């Protein structure tokens, strides 16, 4: 606020306030110029450039506050869909980091414009959040493996394994685990998922009999993923994260 006032005072005393705002070429300079401008072509050009700068700031920073500022200042901008998509993705990442039911409900309430797949996943995460405190995942183990399962063969891939423990009083007929490959700074490079409990496998792939059984209360079940196709940059740190991304309780048996 003080910066804007300073710029405004500086521009008021100038013979060419738009020219000076253009030289500074900052959001604050154009805001100050527009606050004191009576109108005309300069005002239109300043407004257009201000829109460009605010949109660029939001896209570059990925900050929710910057997305909101641009959308509020220019609700009919041609970049509206891009801003809304960026805002929704940034908000989803924050809700994912928080992981609480409240965080996911807030995401849904504040991002009605999010695309359908993102909202569908957020709605599923509301249920997951209720189970997450009671479904524990052990610290993942990362190790080289032979993709063919030959203990004497060359280590031509990587395996990640964890244990999934149902500490609730409810059996889970479906529990899906997401594995995130992270870079050295903890940023997500790639994510894959596979159920620890499911009646059928995704995409019609074969499912072992043990996984098809519900995850019983008190049960701990191993979960593993192996692959030779790894995201670029992952091998530098070999960091991963595992989390529950979907859960469904076994339907209650109707009372006789």
Q: Could you write out the three-class secondary structure of 36-97? A: HCCCCHHHHHHHHHHHHHHHHHHHHHCCHHHHHHHHHHCCCCCCHHHHHHHHHHHHHHHHHH
Count other Cβ atoms within 10 Å, centred on residue 30: 27
Bridge partners, 174 (sequence order):
248
Long-range contacts of 7-11 (CB under 8 A, 24+ apart): 7/31, 7/32, 8/32, 8/33, 8/35, 8/36, 11/36
Cα angle vertex 233, ends 230, 236, to 5°? 105
- Where helices occur in the chain by DSSP H, the ranges are 2-12, 17-24, 27-36, 41-61, 64-73, 80-98, 101-110, 116-132, 209-212
Across the strands, what pairs with 161? 141, 224
* This prediction's pTM: 0.64
Given strand 172-182, what is the order of strands in its sheet?
Answer: 188-197, 172-182, 239-249
Please say whether the dihedral angle defined by the alpha carbons of residues 88, 89, 92 and 97, taken in this order, is positive or negative: negative
Query: For each of the chain's 256 residues, which pLDDT tens digit applies?
Result: 445 544 555 554 557 889 999 999 999 999 999 998 677 889 999 999 999 999 999 999 999 999 999 999 999 999 999 999 999 999 999 998 888 889 999 999 999 999 999 999 899 888 788 888 889 999 999 999 999 999 899 999 999 999 999 999 999 999 999 999 999 999 999 999 999 999 888 887 888 899 999 999 999 999 999 999 999 999 999 999 999 988 888 987 655 5
> Number of C-alpha atoms within 13 angstroms, CB side, residue 167?
11
- Give the number of other CB atoms < 10 A from CB of residue 181: 23
Question: 135-249 has which fold?
Answer: Immunoglobulin-like (2.60.40)
- pLDDT score at 66: 98
């Amino acid at each position: 606020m003080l910066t804007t006032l300073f710029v405004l005072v500086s521009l008021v005393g100038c013979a060419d306030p738009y020219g000076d705002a253009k030289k500074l070429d900052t959001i604050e300079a154009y805001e100050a110029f527009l606050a004191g401008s009576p109108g005309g072509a300069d005002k239109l050009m300043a407004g257009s450039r201000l829109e460009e700068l605010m949109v660029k700031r939001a896209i570059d920073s990925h900050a929710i506050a910057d997305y909101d500022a641009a959308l509020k200042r220019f609700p009919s901008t041609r970049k509206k869909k891009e801003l809304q998509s960026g805002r929704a993705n940034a908000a989803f990442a924050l809700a994912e980091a928080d992981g609480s039911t409240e965080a996911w409900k807030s995401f849904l309430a504040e991002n009605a414009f999010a695309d359908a797949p993102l909202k569908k996943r957020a709605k599923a995460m509301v249920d997951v959040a209720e189970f997450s405190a009671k479904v524990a995942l052990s610290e993942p183990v990362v190790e080289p493996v032979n993709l063919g399962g030959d203990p004497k063969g060359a280590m031509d891939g990587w395996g990640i394994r964890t244990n999934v423990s149902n500490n609730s009083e409810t059996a889970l007929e479906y529990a899906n685990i997401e594995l995130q490959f992270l870079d050295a700074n903890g940023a997500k490079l790639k994510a894959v998922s596979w159920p620890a409990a499911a009646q059928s496998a995704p995409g019609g792939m074969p499912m072992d009999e043990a996984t098809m059984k519900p995850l019983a209360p008190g049960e701990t079940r191993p979960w593993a993923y192996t692959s030779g196709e790894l995201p670029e940059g992952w091998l530098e740190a070999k960091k991963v994260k595992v989390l529950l991304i979907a859960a469904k309780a076994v339907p209650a048996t109707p009372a006789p």
